[in-house]
Structure 1
């Protein structure tokens, strides 16, 4: 979406950029300011309630995943029928039902302890395939990490 074409921002003219350059002591190649519509959109978007569904039962815990973690778990659940150690039952349904939280930028879902352990395993696979950040963050945030057993 082009913010200027949508009238959400107005681009600074050459003289305004020159003034900004003088104030900052460095060249300003472009600058924009929010229009009234742009400010209203920010207020409106931040004020919208997100779909916060309740935990399905006392055995479920709220889990918030970063987009990269969610991508890894979607891949993990998509491979379920080909994996030797399959994801926990209903994990794919829980992943599909996840709700994005606009304010935090995370995906919210409710999981059982067994499903969380399965997520930890999926993130461990992701870690072993090349990126440890997602598994490390999950371990820090939720206190669960997969440790392979011989």
Structure 2
């Protein structure tokens, strides 16, 4: 048995004796001597408190018998025991979208592109949608899915597509292409005007290039 396991086992034993004594001190008549000795080893770690002479005298008078030994867990000992028996909370499955929002999951490279976009807000003719910067800043990361999770409105999702459009034309196409596959939105140029517009895949936008 490892030292940590022995430590918790002794804390458990002492705690059980305390419960039997209705949360009071565990006394010598209830705790075997070998257990007393092992419990005393935890005093130096601040996990167990031994009753001093005055406290034992008061208990002896109250019980009408001599009390030569009494111990109890310290607040730190209770915390250690509680922590030892705890289990990690189960994953919640990601943030919950509110009304008018959807859960958008971005791969690290996509998130990097969106972060650049957000950081350039004051320098862009078409900047991030309102609230997108805050969603990017507070997005949690899912290790199991290797992605950042954001709850976005339709306008914010379209803004992400624009960020990836800028990224596609200046650095890499992969991030925008993946976003288009996952969320069916992509920026394309209208030939007649030379203006990039958001296109919902599977739905024609008047004048948009479907190529």
TM-score between the two structures when normalised by the length of structure 1: 0.65
For 2:176 and 2:141, how far apart are their aligned partners in 1?
20
RMSD: 1.9
Gaps of 5+ in 1: 1-43
Deviation, structure 1 residue 146: 1.0
Equivalent residue in structure 1 for 2:91, among 49, 56, 59: 49
Alignment of 1:43-122 (within 5 A): 49=91, 52-55=94-97, 57-122=98-163
- Alignment-derived partner of residue 172 in structure 2: 131
- Is the contact made by 1:72 and 1:126 (CA closer than 8 Å) also made in structure 2? yes
3-state SS, counterpart of residue 185 of structure 2: coil
Higher relative contact order (CA 8 A, sep 6+): 1
Deviation, structure 1 residue 48: 5.6
Runs of 4+ in 1 over 6 A off after TM superposition: none
- Is the contact made by 2:165 and 2:187 (CA closer than 8 Å) also made in structure 1? yes
3-state SS, counterpart of residue 187 of structure 2: coil
Deviation, structure 1 residue 50: 6.1
3-state SS, counterpart of residue 109 of structure 2: helix
- Is the contact made by 1:50 and 1:101 (CA closer than 8 Å) also made in structure 2? no
TM-score between the two structures when normalised by the length of structure 2: 0.47
From the CA coordinates, give the structure whose radius of gyration is larger.
2
Question: Relative to 1, partners in 2 of residues 1:102 and 1:50: Cα closer, same or farther, differing over 3 Å?
Answer: farther
Deviation, structure 1 residue 148: 3.1
Gaps of 5+ in 2: 1-86, 195-211
